[in-house]
Structure 1
Amino acid sequence: MTEVNAVSWNNLVQTDDPFVCHEFLVALEQSGSVSEATGWLSKHLLVFEQQELIAAMPLYLKNHSRGEYVFDQQWADAYYQSGMEYYPKWLNAIPFTPCQGQRILLKEGQDLSTVMQLCMNTLKAYSEQHNISGLHCLFADYSQIKDLPQDMLIRVGVQFQWFNKNYRDFDDYLQTFTSRQRKNINKERRRVKEQGIQLQKLTGQEITQQQWQVFFQFYELTYLKRGQAAYLNIAFFKQLAQSMPEQMLLVLANNGQVYVGAALSFIGEDTLYGRYWGCYEEYHSLHFEACYYQVLEYCIAHNKQIFDSGAQGEHKISRGFEPINTYSAHWIKNTEFAKLIADFLRREEEMVEGYKQACIKQLPFKKLV
């Protein structure tokens, strides 16, 4: 990304999406969180018209499937069992970030299908020359992949998002809940206060170096508790604090003596993205308060229409997060495997839709008469 003009790249970004902006992607690389050593070789694809950048794809060569949140390890195993190599593969995605957004950055007025075809022709030719198994475009905005060529396979998933329906405040939002669920949330919020925990919301400009260090320790602990190393390092977060502080929101929890938890979100034009959470020890309902209720208050106060809370989390349903479809697109160079994967995806989509409908039935909202 250091070889790409930041202004030209960012001119292609829509809706202030923080994750596709030059500052975010270059911080991943310069911090060493994304590098050939970590299995992410940056190969961003740029499309020029004469000297003007008119389109771009955040693009990586991967030799593993970690940090992607769309799981294809079974596909890799099937390749190996057949005596073939699944890696390296192309990945058109944002590292470690399961949030939907632009995967082809496009200058206004350019034709998406024409640019997509040009990019695919280039990537297919390169893949043949360098024995790359395919291309995987993850968490794409559906408008960008709905008219893809037939050899691109669509994979459907489910996440949970919150939608702002012109709520005046958090209590107004809770009025849409059934009495039982409303009482449950109010009880959770009281429990946090009864434990003597206070919360503060800070935008990037207000966060001190010491608070960044505290946040990073919490973030790192989240991974260490699972026996894993954190994907991101402190250098990454400190660089973002300098380059894009206006798009960062940190919720800090303290017990009157020390900080006990933290949640970091990113701010887009209409959407707020919940990303990282951590704590030293478990406090009753603190996760829900810091990661959801405090952030929902911010969304309502600042007229954000969507809270994208990232991957997983069925516990979000009872708190009013609705199941929505996510989409990825896959080009598999081996045509026989492409047929097998297409059949798998058809069956998987049926199960995903059944799961989504079951989640909808569990939403806490009052039934309209």
Structure 2
Amino acid sequence: MSGWSAALQPRFHARIDELPAAAWDSLRPDDNPFVSHAFLAALEATGCIRNDWGWQAHHLGLYEGEALVAAAPLYLKGNSHGEFVFDWSWASAWERAGGEYYPKLLNAVPYSPVTGPRLLAGRGRHAAALRQALVMAMRGEVDRLGLSSLHANFLQPDELPAFDDHWLTRTDVQFHWHNRGYADFDAFLAALNHKKRKNIRHERAQVARSGLQIGLRGGASLSRDEWRRVHALYESTFDAKGNHAALTRAFFLSLGDTLGDAVQLVLARD
């Protein structure tokens, strides 16, 4: 570590609102909403981050004097729920060997399996060094607290060099749709094989005949009653399988005010 980075002071925070929102957001390398101060603060303020659900905020800030120069969303986890990375077999093996796997330290966004920045260090010439300093500070905290392990989920590729050879890299598979510059929907269909084109046209025709009105709405335009209905639909997907919905109604009601049109909803009306 250079003399400059060695002078940085790590501080750990039990609430995101202990860190200044403007400074936190200025460190994001892009406009990914899931690591925005507003999104993380809304999770905490509306009862989504709770010790009895296995989440305890432990956010990291790196300071040069009193100036926040790098940060990471960080949590002490009492279980592995809400991560979308399934390490229960690791936990079982650790405990069979006589250890205590939980709590562990997790660098991630709760309930959101979305790849994005996890080591917030801006885009300046010191960004790479700051990301390394964040990782070193997290490792130091694991040692200080006597935790079993440190995990970082759904990182961006340019953050991987901050993690040295002592880390295990886990690669997962997700399916994403990308707009390849299609002139219109027919141009998109033309890029598919005959069977896929036929299936998509058939499915769209079924929707057209249903009489449903389908449209895109920005979060700021929804009324509180509409947000309540959206949450009820979200909750029903968990109820159907006997699972627990982690995002509260209060969180949904806050989205229009906190994130506005950064939230886009596809709504179907009869």
**TM-score, normalised via structure 1 length:** 0.67
CA shift for structure 1 position 109: 1.7
Separation in 2, partners of 1:208, 1:38: 29
Could you report, residue by residue, the CA deviation over 1:149-200 in whole angstroms, capped at 9, with x for unpaired residues? 1111111110011111111222221111112211110100111122222212
Q: Letter of the aligned partner of 1:119 in structure 2? A: L
Could you report, residue by residue, the CA deviation over 1:32-63 in whole angstroms, capped at 9, with x for unpaired residues? 10122321110100011222211100000001
Equivalent residue for 1:2? 17
Equivalent residue for 1:131? 146
Equivalent residue for 1:271? none
Match of 1:167 among 182, 190, 197: 182
Correspondence 1:101 to 2:111: no
Correspondence 1:80 to 2:120: no
Separation in 2, partners of 1:28, 1:224: 21
> Residues 1-369 of structure 1 correspond to what in structure 2 (within 5 A)?
1-146=16-161, 148-255=163-270
Higher strand share: 1
- Preserved contact between residue 29 and residue 123 of structure 2 (Cα < 8 Å): no
CA shift for structure 1 position 135: 0.8
SS state at 2:182 partner: coil
Separation in 1, partners of 2:52, 2:125: 36
Separation in 1, partners of 2:44, 2:142: 23
Q: Letter of the aligned partner of 1:237 in structure 2? A: F
Separation in 1, partners of 2:251, 2:231: 10
- Preserved contact between residue 113 and residue 148 of structure 1 (Cα < 8 Å): no
Structure 2's unaligned 5+ residue stretches are: 1-15
- Runs of 4+ aligned residues of structure 1 deviating over 6 Å after TM superposition are none
Separation in 1, partners of 2:162, 2:34: 24
- Preserved contact between residue 55 and residue 77 of structure 2 (Cα < 8 Å): yes
RMSD over aligned Cα, in angstroms?
Answer: 1.4
SS state at 2:168 partner: strand
CA shift for structure 1 position 119: 2.7
Identity level (%): 37
Structure 1's unaligned 5+ residue stretches are: 256-369
Q: Letter of the aligned partner of 1:8 in structure 2? A: A
**TM-score, normalised via structure 2 length:** 0.90
Equivalent residue for 1:346? none
Separation in 2, partners of 1:36, 1:215: 26
Could you report, residue by residue, the CA deviation over 1:220-260 in whole angstroms, capped at 9, with x for unpaired residues? 000001101101011111112101112011111122xxxxx
Separation in 2, partners of 1:203, 1:124: 40
- Preserved contact between residue 23 and residue 240 of structure 1 (Cα < 8 Å): no
Separation in 2, partners of 1:230, 1:158: 24
In structure 2, the CA distance between the partners of 1:14 and 1:116, relative to structure 1 (3 Å rule), is closer
In structure 2, the CA distance between the partners of 1:177 and 1:81, relative to structure 1 (3 Å rule), is same
